[in-house]
Amino acid sequence: MNQSLEHVLDKAHEKKPLKEVAELSPAALQGVSDKDAEALKAAFGIKSIRDLATNKFILWAQAINTLAAAEK
């Protein structure tokens, strides 16, 4: 595991391969509770960290933020 991710994942998942981590519930991320993960699933159909990372609303928000930072 990349040490720069040690503060990103719950301890139980720190040594897992990233391909496995991507398929875990978002609750595997530090600061995301099981209740939060259930809310993501109910609202957006997000069941895994991969789903969260590729969610169209997340991607749109990131693009807007990036473009807003470059806007004059």
Per-residue pLDDT of the chain (72 residues; tens, 9 = 90+): 556 788 899 989 988 999 999 999 999 999 999 999 999 999 999 999 999 999 999 999 999 999 999 998
Burial of 46 (0-12, 13-18, 19+ CB in 10 A): buried
Domain residues for the domain of 48 are: 3-70
Structurally, how many domains does the chain consist of?
1
**Residue 2: its pLDDT value, please?**
58
Q: How far is the C-alpha of 55 from the C-alpha of 69, rounded, in Å? A: 21
Q: Residue 3's pLDDT is what? A: 66
What's the whole-model pTM score?
Answer: 0.87
